[in-house]
Structure 1
Amino acid sequence: MQSNAVERGAKTGQAFDDSGRWALISLALSMLLSSLGISIANVALPSLAEAFDTSFQRVQWVVLAYLLTVTITIVTAGRLGDLIGHRRMLIGGISLFALASGLCGAVSSLWLLIAARALQGLGAAVLMALSIAFVRDTVAKDRTGSAMGLLGTMSAIGTALGPSLGGVLLTAASWRAIFLVMVPLGVLNLLLASRFLPAGKPTGKGGGFDSLGTLLLGLTLAAYALATTVGGAHMGWPNVALLVVAVLGVGLFVMVEARVASPLIQLSAFRDASLSGSLVMNALVSTVMMVTFVVGPFYLARALGLNAALVGMAMSVGPVISALTGIPAGRIVDWLSASLVVIIGLALMTAGAFVLVVVPTSFGVAGYVVGIAILTPGYQLFQAANNTAVMMDVSPDRRGVVSGMLSLPRNLGLITGASVMGALFAFVSGTVDGSTAHPETVATGMRVTFAVAGMLILAATVVALLVRGSVANAATVEE
């Protein structure tokens, strides 16, 4: 049987057979769709505001509903995959994503569109969590890094493809087309997953689902996400109140998880320095990467005076490099140890961040591109190595929830980068309106923001070194 062939190939370390390749293609397409769902909608916001005759603040929820739903549900999606089976859960997620994409293209009101986007985000959470979890069921252990690199590449392609594909579809058809185009891709992915993914079995132990913990985690994440997004750059008492709710939610969640028989997240897992360190590093790195998308356009347009076309070209450098370096990064992880490649990737990211502090001042757009060209490969090395280090030896009954836990700080980092680091940039620039900022203050804001970003990467590097030392000491004790 084809699914058995995939399992045998993964266990023996042999090269992929045809079934294994098609299974990996299905996982890659899942990552492409989930990232495309984020990036393709941004370009349509002006068209949506016009179509529904509403404000930009309201149509922003077309993007926020998707991102918030993914963030809130991704750990739960992974845990459900452990309980009912990774293949069954992933096929369900693909089906939901395709159905919700069709609903997005068919609705007649903005609020129905926002609801459909939340449903699409729920499907995307399953795609993100289970694609990473499925890698160890699909490929040989010594090729895990390459597979993780491929998934990173497809995520980057989805991010880069969204704005350009969305622009073409908006010009040729209407805003509905940007959602409907994902329906046939989802159907194709459903056929591939049903045909080639190894069947497997439900692996969750204990048989219980932590309903209370799931509810508390969802409400806590929702409170934090809303605290960092409502009000835009204007932070007021609602933001503070939501942050307080988030902090209280964390405390309650920890108390519940310590007492329930089958916790959503086993608190003892955080005693593993490797896992805890990986989650912290993922949050810090994602926060920094979001800075390039938030600060970059304002710096290129207002400080360097580039027109929209040139800004678009400069901003495409990062995603293009990311797409080109993902697979090589994964292969490097397979050749070297994952913990070493994590440090190499963070070192490149640190260098890139500080190049962006210094070089653009003297070399303009060329200096900016050089900084991005150093930062981005470092990010791909980090992602491939960090994902591999976490997922390599996770037991089958925890792969889904651990994959969700790994993706959660990434999404939280993206939200934090957009809000907190964006607010820092606006504060240093002396205005919350990039269109009226002076070029000198925008340049200063960019330098200060990337200096802080560089310090965050340095902090992540310290964590990586501590984790590497802890693992080495543990190995010495065992010997």
Structure 2
Amino acid sequence: MSPSPRGSLISLSLSMLLASLGTSIANVGLPSLAQAFDASFHAVQWVVLAYLLAITAVIVSAGRLGDRLGRRRLLLGGLLLFSLACGLCGAAATLDMLIAARILQGLGAAVMMAMALGMVGDTVTKERTGRVMGLLGTMSAVGTAMGPSVGGVLLSLLGWRALFLVGVPLGLLAAALAWRFLPVDRHPAPASSGHRFWALLKDPPLRTGLAMSALVAAVIMATFVVGPFYLSRGLGLDPAWMGLTMAVGPCVAAVTGIPAGRLTDRLGSQRMTCGGLGILLCGALWLTVASGLLSYLGALIVLTAGYSLFQAANTTAVMRDVEATRRGTVSGLLNLSRNLGLIVGASALGAVFAWATPDVTHATAQSVANGLHATFGAASGLILLAAVMAWGRNHAVNGLHHLR
């Protein structure tokens, strides 16, 4: 590989890593932010929600905007906006200022995620596209896994502001690499109609797959929002150990992703979707009675393994029969459904935790544990709803096969 493609891939990989890191690194600081700003759980959870809402608002349209204005140009703008927003987050004097800066950071991250995938075809040959897509997916998982552990270390050594300031030099480095190595934009493409985009949603199996993706993402997000409070207030872990514990789930997802895909190819997406949901349900039910660090870790491992299997199988089921000209749009819809699920997990399931643990700042260890159990009791209900949807989709697909 020549230096230019190598530099381009480093830039795209760093862009994807930073965008996913921004999602998970702030979660570990929620208890510290609640204390620093003397704020409630409802207030500090907007540090997470603001970032996710900003990404969700523009993730679908960012790709079209890049086609019209130039993908390299838009990626550079997104990286610079992300770096500026990281600095503003670190300098925030009030919680409102921090939340506003997180919105800007999320807008930059949305552009980075969309353009990183969109520029693969501009950077490497078609024969290398698949492996580069895999590389970017791995970087996304690595960023999610690094967030709690790196954030925990930064939090214990330098305080909560370091969670955001670390993104400034990394974002500027990615921008410099993008400016130096990424290919110059070609002539902008004309705007395309959004009619087909909405027409896709008339397909029942696709709607079901998107809905299940959102429900499962909500359950996974609950581990990042509720987990820090249980580990710090319920179990008394310091920030470094809390971060390392929270990194277990994403690490399991990274390790089990490829085997999950192989099982899906071997046994079929319908069967493995139901199998993944079954394992997810076992992990969630375990968390409704978890007591102590080992029990929490065991439940988290089971939950995440089920998520990996479900994700591989459901994505395969959704993408399998999609026309080549619509794969990008459907992929964007899957990303959108996942982000919407993350928002539901952070807000709705976070509200369940806050209801069960009213005074989270001064709550006892048992009160926080009760909040964890109540949260994943509700999460179990979401998984059961997804299982009903999966059964209905499988029944409909099997009926079509019999008719044929």
TM-score, L = length of structure 1: 0.66
Instruction: Identify the match of residue 377 of structure 1 among 305, 326, 338.
Output: 305
Q: Give distance in 1, aligned partners of 2:10 and 2:305.
A: 23
CA contact (8 A) 1:76 1:264 kept: no
Map 1:343-358 onto structure 2 (within 5 A). 343-358=274-289
> 1:323-334 counterparts in 2 under 5 A?
323-334=254-265
Asked if the contact 2:11/2:175 (under 8 Å) is kept, the reply is no
Looking at structure 2, the residues matched to 183 and 95 of structure 1 have their Cα atoms a distance apart, in angstroms, of 10
**Contact (CA 8 Å) 1:33, 1:182: kept in 2 or not?**
yes
Shift of 1:165: 3.6
2:17 matched to 1:32? yes
| Distance in 2 separating the partners of 1:136 and 1:347 | 37
Q: Is the 8 A contact 2:280 2:307 kept in 1?
A: yes
Deviation at 1:40, TM superposition (A): 3.7
Residue 337, structure 1, aligned to residue 268, structure 2: yes
Alignment equivalent of 2:174, drawn from 162, 171, 185: 185
CA contact (8 A) 2:217 2:338 kept: yes
Letter in structure 2 aligned against 1:99: L
Cα distance in 2 between the residues matched to 1:343 and 1:179: 42
Equivalent residue letter for 1:457 = I
CA contact (8 A) 2:149 2:246 kept: no
Amino acid at match of 2:113: M
**In 2, Cα distance between equivalents of 1:450 and 1:139:** 45
> In the alignment, what sits opposite 1:100?
81
Q: Percent identity?
A: 46
Return closer, same or farther for 1:470/1:345 CA change in 2, 3 Å cut-off.
Answer: same
Q: Is 1:474 matched up with 2:400?
A: yes
The answer for unaligned runs of 5 or more in structure 2 is none
**Residue 368 of structure 2 corresponds to residue 442 of structure 1:** yes
Give me the whole-angstrom Cα distance separating, in 2, the residues matched to 1:188 and 1:95: 10
Q: Is the 8 A contact 2:48 2:346 kept in 1?
A: no
Counterpart residue number, 1:322: 253
- Can you give the 5+ residue segments of structure 1 that lack an aligned partner in the other structure? 3-17, 210-261
Task: Report whether the alignment pairs 1:263 with 2:189.
Answer: no
Between the aligned partners of 1:192 and 1:179, the Cα distance in structure 2 is 20
Aligned-partner Cα distance in 2 for 1:192–1:388: 33
Q: Deviations over 1:169-213 (max 9, x none)?
A: 675797434322222134436666539x9x9995x8xx545xxxx
The amino acid that maps onto 2:213 is N
Question: Cα–Cα, structure 1 residues 190 and 450, in superposed 2: closer, same or farther, change >3 Å?
Answer: farther
Whole-Å Cα distance in 1 between the matches of residues 266 and 187 of structure 2?
29
Cα distance change of structure 1 residues 33 and 337 upon mapping to structure 2, 3 Å threshold: farther
Question: Aligned equivalents of 1:129 and 1:280: distance in 2?
Answer: 21
CA separation of 1:22 and 1:338: change in aligned 2, threshold 3 A: farther
Does the residue aligned with 1:433 lie in a helix, a strand or coil? coil
Deviation of 1:370 after TM superposition, in Å, equals 0.9
2:221 counterpart of 1:290: yes
CA, structure 1 residues 208+157, in 2 after alignment: closer, same or farther (shift >3 Å)? closer
> How far did 1:60 drift?
7.3
SS at match of 1:445: helix
RMSD over equivalenced CA pairs, Å: 4.3
Instruction: Tell me how far apart the structure 1 counterparts of residues 196 and 166 of structure 2 sit (CA, whole Å).
Output: 38
Report what 2:348 is aligned to.
Answer: 420
Q: How does 1:248-259 map to 2 (within 5 A)?
A: none
Matched, 1:77 2:62: yes
**CA deviation vs aligned residue, 1:377-433 (integer Å, no higher than 9, x gap):** 211222233333333443454344322221222222212212211221222x3x422
Higher alpha-carbon Rg: 1
